[in-house]
Amino acid sequence: MQESLSELRDKRRAAADGPDPRATERQHAKGKLTARERIGLLLDDGSFQEVEQLRRHRAAGFGLEHKKPYTDGVITGWGTVFGRTVFVYAHDFRIFGGALGEAHADKIHKLMDRAIAAGAPLVSLNDGAGARIQEGVTALAGYGGIFQRNTKASGVIPQISVMLGPCAGGAAYSPALTDFVFMVRDTSQMFITGPDVVKAVTGEEITQNGLGGADVHARTSGVAHFAYDDEETCIEEVRYLLSMLPQNNRELPPSEPCADDPGRTTEILRDLVPAEGNQPYDVREVVAEIVDGGDYFEISATWAQNIVCALARLDGQVVGVVANQPRAMAGVLDIHSSEKAARFVQFCDSFNIPLVTL
């Protein structure tokens, strides 16, 4: 028995350390954290419960039968954020570049099913190269199962995608189906296919960041809702967002004790909002004056700036704020701002968040 326990400890240590110490060094050299370091930042200390740590693929061909690392390139489990249960999976770029195969996908499928059954948020920490080409159609079928569960969970539990590396193909499709997408500048990208394929098909030369970097999606396409300069800040903001969301569509958002007097007057609005209808002003200053402590969490701040969407608190209760922004296009609605507001209103409606419209 002692021998078996020792063997199990060795296997768990190998799974935690990864197959190659140099792969960890290369990950850090790119300014990126490992999958387990990211999970450690996201969840409360000591709360992570990993499942299927020793899972390995069963594919053969192209040399795969000689490479069977534990976890198969994805870490799955659950823990707590501010004491509330959150399910999480994280691609491990050190193993097959985080590419998805049959066993890898099966682990994610099971975790998503558990999150839906438990009624708890799902966070994906994405750093993967798409489908594992050596496993062919089996890998593609794995992505089909993820997409199906994304749509099944939509409006039922909050789904948050955190892009922390180059994500192509299916690794970009799934995040686009979720409620919120976070990205990190310079190290994360989302694209259907990479710059080499674009050049081969169209002849156009473009960099990875130019094709699908954080600012491209946060400013131009609107696919990313938040963009940050480093992973630590990004993951801390994910924790903050989770603190304002309910666990599922059958619960109310969490309330907090409020030190800001709900009966206070907001006389400064007389100076912030001009009497002349043709004078612009920054509606963000109005929002900051109204909400508790002037603290609000703006969604898609750099895309469709003629409308402002934000989560905030009034008397400790979470509310969604939708406001025309006179400083951008005089606050008129166009297709992008309409889409931005509609998506936000739909989310708030699904998760019992009251709306304040300015």
CATH architecture observed for domain 2-242: Alpha-Beta Complex (3.90)
Cα–Cα dist 187/32, whole Å: 7
Closest by Cα among 282, 263, 264, 262 to 272:
282
Cα–Cα dist 238/226, whole Å: 10
Residue 135 is which amino acid? Answer: E
Q: Which numeric CATH code is attached to 269-357?
A: 3.90.226.10
pLDDT tens digit string along 215-268?
999 999 999 999 999 999 999 999 999 999 999 999 999 999 988 888 888 888
pLDDT averaged per 10 residues in sequence order, the chain, 358 residues: 77 75 86 93 96 82 80 93 97 88 93 97 92 85 94 97 90 92 94 85 87 92 95 97 97 92 87 86 94 94 96 96 94 95 97 96
The 8-class DSSP code of residue 100 comes to B
Start-end of CATH 3.90.226.10 domains in the chain: 2-242, 269-357
Cα–Cα dist 318/208, whole Å: 37
Q: Cα 309 from chain centroid?
A: 18
The three-point CA angle 309-315-320 to 5° equals: 15
Tokens of 83: 């004491």
Angle subtended by helix axes 102-118 and 137-153, to nearest 10: 10
Return the pLDDT at 139: 87
Cα–Cα dist 47/39, whole Å: 10
Return the pLDDT at 82: 96
CB–CB of 12/36 below 8 Å? no
